[in-house]
Structure 1
Amino acid sequence: MSQSASPLDRERAHLSSSRAALRAMREDAEALDIRDVTANWVNAEVLQRQIEERIKALADLSHTPLFFGRLDYLHAPGAEQAEGAEGEQFYIGRRHVHDAEGDPMVIDWRAPVSQPFYRASKKDPMDVALRRRFGYTGGELTAYEDENLTDPAEAERTSQLLQQEIERPRVGPMRDIVATIQPEQDEIVRSGLAGSVCVQGGPGTGKTAVGLHRVAYLLYAHRERLARTGTLVIGPNKSFLHYIEQVLPALGELEVKQATVDDLVAGPVEVRGADEAPAALIKGDARMAEVLRRALRSHITLPGEGVVVVRGSRRWRVASYELEEIVRELMGRDMRYGAAREALPQRIAHAVLVQMERAGEAPDDRVQNAVARNTAVKAAVKEIWPPIDPAKLVMRLLSDADFLAEHADGLLDEQEQKTVLWAKPARSVKTVKWSAADAVLIDEAADLVERTHSLGHVVLDEAQDLSPMQYRAVGRRASTGSVTVLGDLAQGTTPWATQSWAEALGHLGKPDAVVEELTAGFRVPTDVITYASRLLPHIAPGLAPVASVRENPGVFEVRGVSEDLDVVAACREALEHEGSIGLIAADARCAVLGELLTEAGMVFLAPGEETTAEARLTLVPASLAKGLEYDYVVLDEPAAVVSGEPDERTGLRRLYVALTRAVSGLVVVHATALPGELAPV
């Protein structure tokens, strides 16, 4: 392109060239012929799958900008800046793109050379002369904005394109924030794999996005290791996971698994029942881990007699005192119940082999294994260290008052034991209506028997709502890896909600995790977060309120109404705006409001269903609002949201969550009096 072309035209030309280069990279991957390069069909299958994943990762998403920024470096770098060169420009995007010669046209946002795009400032330009941001409309490059980091005459200012991108209407699932990551967020995103991080962040601070981008960064920096050990994102419910599921694929990461805590512990039993809050609270208490450990180990019986092993014409006897020494030694070691049980026959067999050697024989490992499988040895092991079904162990604890009392002594008082005991003793594991809390107990018992498989990295979102036993269940999945914990103590809405991150991290098995706090709000408008923050002194007095950095104060109104049809009218008004609309209401009112919306001919979705141009209104029960966001929110009857919870503090926390789901505007409608904490000042 001629030098007379405008800068915008030149940038558009680079975008076209980059898209062409990406298509060529994809075509090269599609054209790979592996017929003559693999030794067998297994290798061929593995290689073919890797190629298919590579092809998927190279997809050009037409409405997703291929690059969103540019860095112009000042100088040729030293050894520590090996990727730069004097006068060279780097286009920063979601994935790496190179031309036919292998020269980069777009640099992955996770590469070291891209870091100054997020961190450079006038105080510390990081050898960057100019940072350029690009604006897009429907995938087309329509604007750019320059920041001269080394020009003293240019004042520090807020990027207008950055503000526009932050405030852009949200239709559809959650999108990545790769173009708008802030310095304090970038520090968390790029922190190392070895350490665990806990992010305390109020509404709109981007903690969920930070956690997801951290996964993407770690997969870039430690791909081979995490490919072996695995990664997992844990969310509070299916609706939330559906909402965030497109973020990582948009960043080129297709293999990260997502699950809820209930998914993690599912398998041995089917959850068909539910606990009352007092029972769930005790079952979720960390003391239950020790109750289970005691109950499990109570099945170990010290031998009352020795073992006689017959081999050919010889009889070998292991005396009872020798057996007792072996059993006590195994009991004293920090071993899983199942691992110790597997070791016991080998220890007995070893004692027999010692006698054989003293008698002049020369037994080898095959003889030891044969002795370990001897009928008498197997019978002794079954008597001393019987096999345990974790579900049956939990069933007995919760249905046998004497068994529970024996092993909860000094841990649970009499009333607590009565609270968790089932009203009717269970006859069979299959007939029990297991609760979610029961499934967590079974998972704990299963880990006491056999070690749970550990992953390389786990992201735990909305962590403030987990019980100590749920934390332990998650921690088992990262016992040899690291975690990123995301949450907000002010949004805890379960009876067992976390009161401090130090306590939670202890249950998780990561007491040394670094706690970071995000207080800059990028999602919630100033007027909305200011109103919601009135609740903080009552629900989380130690937390600093979120300070919105958005220039647009947003739409905010508290509207007294006389009937439910006025709520429908407020939704109709909200639909006049661009973007997604959420009608959030107490769970008990959703059915009535749904009928009214239907009668009014208004199409609405359930949480987790993807919004479209034709269906932009979602009816959201307050219990499912956490983690979701909408451009405009109509919040129905705050007092009903509060009264729908078992206690006032939990209700106010639920209300705080509901108030902070709006990105551009919030209308609070009420026919009954507002909670006193929200009364006009």
Structure 2
Amino acid sequence: MEKTIQQEEQERLEEALRDIEAQLRSIGPRYTGQDFTEQMLDLQREERKGRLEVARKEPYFGRLDFQETPEDGSGDQHAEPKPLYIGKAGVARNGSNELLVVDWRAPVASMFYSFTGGEELAGYTSPDGDVWGHVHLKRNFMIRSGEIVRLVDSYVRGQEEGGVSDEFLLYRLGENKDNKLRDIVSTIQGEQDRIIRADRSKALFIQGVAGSGKTTVALHRLAFLLYQYEGRIRAERMMIFAPNRMFLDYISGVLPELGVGDIGQTTFADWALGLLEHAVTLADPSETMAYWFEEPRTLADIEASSGRWKGSLAFKAAIDERLIALEERIVPETAFVPLDGFTLTPAMMKEWYETDYGDETVMVKRDRLVSRIKRWLESELKHRGVADKKKRSAALAKLNSFVKKIPSFTALQLYASLFKGKTALEGVPKPLAKATSDRLLAGSAAAEDLAPLAYIQLKLYGLRTSPFDHIVIDEAQDYSPFQLEALRLCQRTPSMTVLGDLQQGIHAYAGIGRWHELMELFAEDDTAFFELNRSYRSTMEIIQFANYLLGGMTGGVKPAVPVFRSGDPATAVQTDDEGWLSAIGETVREWHKAGSYDTISVIGRTARECEEIYRYLLDQGEAVSLVQSKQPAYGGGLTVVPVYLSKGLEFDAVLIADGGADKYSEIDAKLLYVGCTRALHKLKLLYRGERTPLLAKWAEEAAD
């Protein structure tokens, strides 16, 4: 009986797994001796073992049959297309250079993502130049525990087709979520692949709508850069900046799944505090969130916020002026005369400072100048044979007195001087100056103070670790220009992936309104801009519902375009104060009973509201967790979360606890948009009293 395609592919899979297992068995135990050469060989074996272990879990996810041909397309019509099996880790056959699995990051594998169907020539760029040919087959696999559980031919040459099918993508998107972000290596789309494979020597800015995969794209980009620039960049000199520790936990599984380790992951606050050697502590960030999210705020509040001012380039310019003034005072204007006939002129000290230490930062040059003056005195005393203890003691006393007059500042001291006394900046409102000064005096700093403090530290003392080879900044719309400028100083040349969504810029009191506010920090040739408008997270109905919320928003951002994945309509249901909590409980029980959702979230407007919902659901016997501002991890299941802490997370089903007019006004459009776009498959909005005016147009069209 003739074998089916599934049977043939299963046999090939089993053969590949036997080969991989044989290679793993041949590696042997770790080397524990002291021989350097053997230690290096052992590291290479461990790297190979890591790749094989990744391949053993899921050897490959795709197959591309490619027939290479000359650029004119003539080619040998009798040559057989070569099947390329593509996986997370490249694997050669045991004892051979022939590839059993092609690494997804290899140049030839790019066609698996860029090919969109048709019989025209396809190609890729190899180290030896462009390669062209014809794709004969594109096949997707889902492999679990050594079995092919799904096989989809998304292209077969010669068969009628209207472009590469989305069947496999839609199947993967329809899967339920757990409590961790997963890799998308098997379903990377063409526009995502272009970002992943972009040149490293730029600052890439990515505007991506909710669910466009921008975070996973950035993480895959790190894995690609390590592969593409092996030996030139190192994982330990890469850094991911995430909005909070819970988000870091949420994304923690992606890079290990791709076989990548040792990449640093932190928040800007933790990084800045470490840079400052914990000279200050961070004021409770939940207090800032409580101020901005627990009570209604206006546009005037946002525009007048201290966070916007302290994060601005105007504030940076004021600090730069103070740093210039400080540097002008470093070199003494009077001669150093420790003893009669001993004279060190200001001109000589200035030459040392500007010429010998010209590339160093201010305080480093200051400290080296002081050391040079001390060495000069010792040299002069020795050269002139001054042995008298009293004279030497007098000379050293004058040295100490002279050196004390050379200005010396810590970052904290210089920053504090901007807000107090005669050295305070002009035009700073007195309440802001006093609050900042009092906080710094107590050894504490607000989140908005960390960027200027980090910047001053770098300008005074420089970076005391190796520069970053590459930086990823997630949720960058909530970054101030000053934050990005501080990070820019930590690289020799720009190499960043800066991503976010202006439509989710809920921290407007500190963030940006347009991407050019950050892009203008770099030379035009050092930047590139990408826009991801297609949302892969939510169903068409959820995306369309969420887009109504943003109605007349500005900023040049296009609305999300959903993939063709249909589901239940998003609904808005009125309730009253007495029945509100019971309506929440009934919805949760209904969704549990349906058995279709692994992760369910009830999203509240404030922390206080969420606490009330959480207590009610606990009393109802639900296994529920409450997300709070200091929480390090998200555990999945049934979760109650304030809307401002939900950003970046995903849930199978989302219930907006109260979408009433008194909860979400026009100024809260982005906040409600964030909450709604957390849902993959199901979205329901309850509201007490009047429904939010943000849904007026949706209600009109739903009624027609």
Q: Which TM-score tier does this pair reach, normalised by the shorter chain?
A: 0.7 to 0.9
Whole-angstrom distance in 2 between the partners of 1:268 and 1:678: 48
Measured after TM superposition, the shift of residue 355 of structure 1 is 11
* Amino acid across the alignment from 1:279: S
* Correspondence 1:70 to 2:84: no
* Gap change, CA 1:673 and 1:212, over 3 Å in 2: same
For 1:91, which of 85, 90, 104 is the aligned residue?
85
TM-aligned CA distance change 1:154 to 1:281, over 3 Å:
closer
State the 1:511 CA deviation.
7.5
Contact 1:68 1:135 in 2 (8 A): yes
Deviation, 1:125, is: 4.9
Match of 1:578 among 594, 597, 616: 597
Q: Quick one: which amino acid aligns to residue 132 of structure 1? A: R
1:397 and 2:392 correspond: no
1:591 aligns with 2:607: no
| Shift, 1:143, TM fit | 2.8
Mapped partners of 1:379, 1:204: distance in 2: 62
After superposition, residues 179-190 of structure 1 pair within 5 angstroms as 179-190=186-197
Supply the distance in 2 between the matched residues of 1:462 and 1:492 (Cα, whole angstroms): 8
Contact 2:92 2:100 in 1 (8 A): yes
Aligned to 2:470: 457
Q: Which of these residues, 641, 645, 659, is aligned with residue 638 of structure 1?
A: 659
In 2, Cα distance between equivalents of 1:256 and 1:510: 28
Give secondary structure in 2 for the equivalent of 1:317.
coil
Letter in 1 for 2:62: G
**Residue 202 in structure 1 maps to residue 202 in structure 2:** no
Deviations 1:196-227 (A, max 9, x none): 21110111111111111111111111122222
Cα distance per residue 1:265-310 (max 9 Å; x no partner): 1133211355677333322223332333344454525635312367
> Is contact 1:199–1:484 with CA below 8 Å preserved after alignment?
yes
Offset at residue 233 of structure 1 (A): 1.1
| Equivalent position of 1:382 in the other structure | 403
Contact 1:344 1:381 in 2 (8 A): no
- From 5, 10, 26, the equivalent of 1:7 is 5
Per-residue deviation, residues 572-592 of structure 1 (Å, max 9, x unmatched): 222222332121111231000
Looking at structure 2, the residues matched to 558 and 351 of structure 1 have their Cα atoms a distance apart, in angstroms, of 80
In the alignment, structure 1 residue 469 sits paired with structure 2 residue 482:
yes
> What letter is aligned with 2:454?
D
Which amino acid in structure 1 is aligned with residue 554 of structure 2? A
Q: Distance in 1 between matches of 2:259 and 2:168?
A: 24
Amino acid at match of 1:258: Q
Q: Structure 2 CA distance, aligned partners of 1:79 and 1:307? A: 79
2:335 alignment partner, one of 297, 303, 306: 306
Alpha-carbon distance in structure 1 between the residues aligned to 2:398 and 2:147: 75
Please give the per-residue CA displacement for 1:579-610, whole angstroms capped at 9, x wherever unaligned: 32121111231000000110111112345787
Does the C-alpha gap of structure 1 residues 143 and 553 become closer, same or farther in structure 2, counting only changes over 3 Å?
same
- Matched with 1:483 is 496
Query: Does the C-alpha gap of structure 1 residues 110 and 60 become closer, same or farther in structure 2, counting only changes over 3 Å?
Result: closer
CA distance in 1 between partners of 2:672 and 2:444 (Å): 32
Q: Deviations over 1:71-94 (max 9, x none)?
A: 11124679999xxx8432111111
Structure 1 residues 657, 377: closer, same or farther in 2, change over 3 A?
Answer: farther
Cα pair distance change 1:325/1:37, threshold 3 Å = closer
Q: How does 1:135-174 map to 2 (within 5 A)?
A: 135-136=142-143, 140-148=147-155, 150-151=157-158, 153-156=160-163, 158-174=165-181
Could you say which residue in structure 1 is the equivalent of 2:455?
A: 444
> Could you say which residue in structure 2 is the equivalent of 1:657?
674
Q: 1:323 and 1:252 mapped to 2: Cα distance? A: 54
CA distance in 2, matches of 1:140, 1:606: 38
> 1:432 aligned to 431, 434, 443, which one?
443
Unaligned runs of 5+ in 2: 123-133, 293-304, 385-391
**Which residue of the partner structure matches residue 361 of structure 2?**
336
CA-CA distance at 1:320 after TM superposition: 4.4
Distance (Å, rounded) in 2 between the aligned partners of 1:515 and 1:207: 13
Separation in structure 1 between the aligned mates of residue 206 and residue 332 of structure 2, nearest angstrom: 52
Deviation of 1:483 after TM superposition, in Å, equals: 0.3
Are 2:434 and 1:421 aligned?
Answer: yes
Return the alpha-carbon distance in structure 2 between the equivalents of residues 200 and 320 of structure 1.
Answer: 53
Cα displacement (A) at 1:616? 1.8
Change (3 A) 1:423 1:611: closer
Change (3 A) 1:49 1:381: farther
- Specify whether residues 60 and 526 from structure 1 end up closer, same or farther in structure 2 by C-alpha distance, changes over 3 A only: same
CA distance in 1 between counterparts of 2:3 and 2:399 reads: 85
User: Whole-Å Cα distance in 2 between the matches of residues 116 and 499 of structure 1?
Assistant: 36
Over residues 168-201 of structure 1, what are the superposed CA-to-partner deviations in whole Å (9 max), with x where a residue is unaligned? 2112301111111111111111111112211101
**CA deviation string 1:305-326 (max 9, x = no partner):** 312367xxx9541234655676
| Residue 568 of structure 2 is aligned to residue 548 of structure 1 | no
Aligned to 2:309: 282
* Distance 1:333-1:86 versus aligned 2 partners, 3 A rule: same
Return the alpha-carbon distance in structure 2 between the equivalents of residues 251 and 641 of structure 1. Answer: 45
Q: Which amino acid aligns with 1:433?
A: S
CA distance in structure 2 between the aligned counterparts of 1:606 and 1:20, rounded to whole angstroms: 46
Per the alignment, residue 692 of structure 2 pairs with 675
- Cα distance in 2 for partners of 1:640, 1:68 equals 48
* Structure 1 partner of 2:302: none
**1:213 aligns to what?**
220
1:616 corresponding residue in structure 2:
637
Determine the C-alpha separation between the residues in 1 that align with 2:590 and 2:227.
45
CA distance in 1, matches of 2:155, 2:2: 23
Query: 2-side partners of 1:609 and 1:70: how far apart?
Result: 39
Asked whether the 8 Å contact 2:549–2:695 carries over to 1, the reply is: yes
- Distance in 1 between residues matched to 2:670 and 2:146, nearest whole Å: 39
Is 1:293 aligned to residue 320 of structure 2? yes
**What letter matches 2:332 in structure 1?**
P
Q: Work out whether 1:492 is the aligned partner of 2:505.
A: yes
TM-score, with length taken from structure 1: 0.84
SS of 1:249's equivalent in the other structure is helix
Alpha-carbon distance between aligned partners in 2 of 1:545 and 1:26, rounded to the nearest angstrom: 49
Check 1:289–1:610 CA distance in 2 against 1; reply closer, same or farther (3 A cut): closer
**CA distance in 2 between partners of 1:592 and 1:510 (Å):** 50
From 572, 577, 585, the counterpart of 1:568: 585
Give the match's secondary structure for 2:17. helix
The aligned counterpart of 1:271 is 282
Quote the residue 2:24 is aligned against.
26
**In structure 1, which of residues 605, 615, 623 is the aligned counterpart of residue 625 of structure 2?**
605
Q: Which amino acid aligns with 1:661?
A: R
SS at match of 1:516: strand
Structure 1 stretch displaced more, 250-259 or 436-445: 436-445
Helix, strand or coil: the match of 1:385? coil
- Pick which of 445-454 and 191-200 moved more: 445-454
**Structure 1 residues 137 and 611: alpha-carbon distance in aligned structure 2, compared to 1, 3 A threshold:** farther
Aligned pairs for 1:352-391 within 5 A: 375=396, 379=400, 382-383=403-404, 385-391=406-412
Alignment partners' CA distance in 2, 1:125 and 1:573: 53
Q: 1:542 to 1:76 in 2, by over 3 A?
A: closer
The residue identity in structure 1 corresponding to 2:8 is R
Specify every segment of 5 or more residues in structure 1 that has no aligned partner in the other structure, as ranges: 363-370
